[in-house]
Amino acid sequence: MSKRTIEVELATPGVDARGQPTRVPLGVEAAPEPQLAGEHMLINLGPQHPATHGVLRLVVELDGETVVRVIPHLGYLHSGFEKLGEYRHYNQIIPLTDRTDYLAPMANNVGVALAAEKLMGIEITPRCVVLRVIACELSRIISHLVWLGTTSIDLGAFTPFLWAFQQRERVYNLQEMWTGARLTTSLTRVGGLMADIPNDFVTGLREFTRTFPKTLDEIDRVLTRNAVWAGRTQGVGVMSAAEAINYSLSGPMLRASGVPWDMRKDQPYLDYESYDFDVPVGTAGDVYDRYLVRLEECYQSNRILAQALERLPDGPINVDDPRVILPPKSRAMNDMEAMIYHFKQVMEGVKAPVGEAYVGIENPKGELGNYFVSDGTAKPVRWRIRPPAFINLASISKMAEGHLLSDLIAINASVDIVMGEVDR
Amino acid sequence: MNPSVDALRATFGTAIGRATVARDGETVVSVGAERLRDACQWLRDTPGQQYDYLVDLTAVEYRDRERPLEVVYFLRSLERRADLRVKVELDPAVDLAVDSVVSLWAGANWLEREVYDMFGITFRGHPDLRRILMWETYAEGYPLRKEFPLRGRFSRAEQVRQALAANPEAHYSLEELSIADAYQELPPDMKERLRNGERGDLPNSE
């Protein structure tokens, strides 16, 4: 029920929740394009180009200034994580996931841990569930802030970039406080977490959730009804709902096209069904709607964070199972039984039963799936990441062809790619 | 067990193999390679099935050499909120090929290219079956196959030699060069080498 509220608000033609126009009419009639048709030209964009958001390379065929064809070339950041995962214990895979979607490392850690736990049939503790929700939503916020900042720079607005990165820095400080790392967090373990939150964390996060929406309001004021922003993004890179489904888009890309699918609502994990939050859904499926959806998701993540802080229960963060969780160092050094478990886990790893498990979670970029196939040993036979950015990016040729070259930049930005995940 | 399995069996008979429930509660059903595309089309278009969304497409090779490779299709019906996992078994000794499903789900395009790139499985009818993560002329094989060593097939020295000897013009495919009319301006010997599919000038190993 609450899910539909935003959808209705966005669906009301031309008016948002605050009664402000969402579709900004351009002041001037679009000038007719000069006739440049004729000779086709080949433009190489990337792999080293600030507007390709990493080492993406696009070979673009232009007719005048119109994009005729986009040929993406990937793999410049291919690291073979999936292959490497077949040679690692389940817990050793977690550091690899930091480096896939490196703009939201904690959410990746959660995804792979959930899949391993599903495979092994482990129930995590209530405190761990809430802490993982906090990790996921913090990741969503920092990932969307990077997206907002870099996309606004791509389209010529510098200020929102600074505001977004200032707020991102605050989340990074919290992340560093919790995990000791700003990027390579490796937060989760199979059956729990690497560490509990430190003492000041709750205070810091509460302060963040209180003050963070102000920045979003400011970005909203600067961009949403800005004629240049609207002109660069409205009607650009349109994907209809049917096309979005056919192209397997997920996350904000899918919802901006008007498909109300969110893993947190539709296949809930980590008790997301018990949180009160809305899923923004667009109508036009263009770059502008993707922006609106992501901006609103930041507000909603903030709401979830506040609720998670309210309900954060006391108790252990790890399951009480010595075959899965390493004993504390002090016990491993003083207690024979603990030392044996410590030895077996470090040397042999955690054995998973024969079988397979897929867990999809709603990552900032879309549905992140982790698929494990096990033959009963401590190392998976196959570890597959369903990479949301890779699958979303596959539609770029479809979206960009027929638009201007400058629109290609906006479209490419709107996909929200992160090459660590696209190339893996 | 997902009721789609019984419906599949009623329609496709013996082409439908074993169906199991995986550890995450999803139903996994095995389909014969020759009927795979028909079964997928039926699952997508039949009222009551409506698996309109392809979540993922990948392949699995087991450590047990006796077991066949599997191509796994993760299907989802957004309307009915139901998932189904379809598997096709391919014997590497016979033929690693299966019909492409790009015409059903456009999202399968890059996913099938990736499976081809990583496992060497051919998708018949794919519009543009090229390597995607590895480069076009990658000669070491298929990285996610079990017989492929973790560090790659070639020695580091050989890899470096190939990288240094790569032909800079090879960064564009012939198709791309023909767009730019640059192809006409290349010297004849390079044209010939590109036409032969050669991408790097490898010095003789001593």
Residue in A263, A306, A262, A295 with CA at minimum distance from that of residue A134: A306
Cα B205 vs. chain centroid, distance in angstroms? 33
Tell me which of A56, A247, A358, A385 to substitute to probe the interface with B (most B C-beta atoms closer than 10 Å). A358
How far apart are the C-alpha atoms of A164 and A304, rounded to whole Å? 19
Percent of chain B at pLDDT exceeding 90: 33
Interchain CB distance below 8 Å, B58 and A424: no
Domain positions in chain B? 4-142
B134 neighbourhood in chain A, CB within 8 Å:
75, 78
Please give the CATH superfamily to which domain A2-423 belongs: Cytochrome-c3 Hydrogenase, chain B (1.10.645.10)
Q: Chain B closest CA to A44's CA: distance in Å? A: 9
ipTM: 0.84
Q: Which helix (H) or strand (E) holds A245?
A: helix A241-246
Task: Classify residue B64 by its DSSP letter.
Answer: S
Does the structure show a pLDDT above 60 at A164? yes
**Could you say which of B52, B60, B133 has the minimum Cβ distance to residue A78?**
B133
Q: Using one digit for the tens of pLDDT, what is the confidence trace for B44-71?
A: 998 888 899 999 999 999 988 888 999 9
Tell me which of B132, B159, B183, B186 to substitute to probe the interface with A (most A C-beta atoms closer than 10 Å). B132
- Residue A320 has a pLDDT of 87
Which of the four pLDDT bands, split at 50, 70 and 90, describes residue A11?
very low
A359 neighbourhood in chain B, CB within 8 Å:
24
Does the structure show a pLDDT above 80 at A215? yes
Q: Which residues contact A391 (CB under 8 A, 6 or more apart)?
A: A247, A248, A249, A250, A366, B56, B107, B110, B111
B182 neighbourhood in chain A, CB within 8 Å:
42
A39 neighbourhood in chain B, CB within 8 Å:
181
- Residue A204 has a pLDDT of 92
Residue in A37, A145, A130 with CA at minimum distance from that of residue A364: A145
**Could you say which of B58, B85, B133 has the minimum Cβ distance to residue A423?**
B133
Q: Which residue has the higher pLDDT, A284 or A9?
A: A284
Interchain CB distance below 8 Å, B144 and A61: no
Q: Which residues pair with B123 in a beta bridge?
A: B98
Does the structure show a pLDDT above 60 at A375? yes
Q: Chain A closest CA to B85's CA: distance in Å? A: 10
**Could you say which of B28, B107, B177 has the minimum Cβ distance to residue A248?**
B107
Residues 111-140 of chain B with CB under 8 A from chain A are 111, 114, 118, 132-135
Which of the four pLDDT bands, split at 50, 70 and 90, describes residue A237?
confident
Residues 25-54 of chain B with CB under 8 A from chain A are 26, 28, 52-54
- Residue A384 has a pLDDT of 93
Residue that the structure tokens 């005729």 belong to: A68
Interchain CB distance below 8 Å, B78 and A261: yes
- Residue B155 has a pLDDT of 87
Q: Which helix (H) or strand (E) holds A64?
A: none
Interchain CB distance below 8 Å, B107 and A398: no
A248 neighbourhood in chain B, CB within 8 Å:
53-55, 105-108, 111
The residue in chain A having the minimum alpha-carbon distance to the alpha carbon of residue B145 is: A83
Q: Using one digit for the tens of pLDDT, what is the confidence trace for A98-153?
A: 999 899 999 999 999 999 999 999 999 999 999 999 999 999 999 999 999 999 99
A424 neighbourhood in chain B, CB within 8 Å:
133
Q: What CATH fold (topology level) applies to the domain B4-142?
A: Beta Polymerase; domain 2 (3.30.460)
- Average pLDDT on A249-261 reads 91
- Residue B94 has a pLDDT of 84
Q: Specify the amino acid at residue A236.
A: V
Does the structure show a pLDDT above 90 at A304? yes
Q: Which residues contact A143 (CB under 8 A, 6 or more apart)?
A: A101, A103, A104, A107, A363, A364, A365, A416
Sign of CA dihedral A372, A142, A413, A269: positive
**Could you say which of A71, A355, A394 has the minimum Cβ distance to residue B109?**
A394
Which of the four pLDDT bands, split at 50, 70 and 90, describes residue A8?
very low
Kindly report the number of other CB atoms within 10 A of residue A328's CB atom. 12
Q: Using one digit for the tens of pLDDT, what is the confidence trace for B110-141?
A: 999 999 999 999 999 888 888 889 887 788 88
Q: At what angle do helices A287-311 and A405-415 cross, to 10 degrees?
A: 20
Does the structure show a pLDDT above 80 at B169? no
Does the structure show a pLDDT above 60 at A370? yes
A251 neighbourhood in chain B, CB within 8 Å:
none
How far apart are the C-alpha atoms of A77 and A421, rounded to whole Å? 9
- Average pLDDT on B14-32 reads 88
Residue in B26, B28, B30 with CA at minimum distance from that of residue B14: B30
- Average pLDDT on A84-110 reads 92
Average of per-residue pLDDT values in chain B: 83
Which of the four pLDDT bands, split at 50, 70 and 90, describes residue B80?
confident
- Residue A229 has a pLDDT of 87
- Residue A331 has a pLDDT of 87
A36-40, A398-402, B86-90: which range is least confident on average? Answer: A36-40
- Residue B79 has a pLDDT of 87
A398 neighbourhood in chain B, CB within 8 Å:
106
Task: Classify residue B175 by its DSSP letter.
Answer: H
Does the structure show a pLDDT above 50 at A5? no
Which of the four pLDDT bands, split at 50, 70 and 90, describes residue B188?
confident
Q: Chain A closest CA to B206's CA: distance in Å? A: 30
- Average pLDDT on A225-240 reads 86
Tell me which of B27, B58, B72, B136 to substitute to probe the interface with A (most A C-beta atoms closer than 10 Å). B58
The residue in chain B having the minimum alpha-carbon distance to the alpha carbon of residue A57 is: B171
Domain positions in chain A? 2-423
Task: Classify residue B55 by its DSSP letter.
Answer: E
Cα B132 vs. chain centroid, distance in angstroms? 10
**Could you say which of A74, A245, A386 has the minimum Cβ distance to residue B132?**
A74
Strands A382-386 vs A366-374: parallel, antiparallel or unpaired? antiparallel
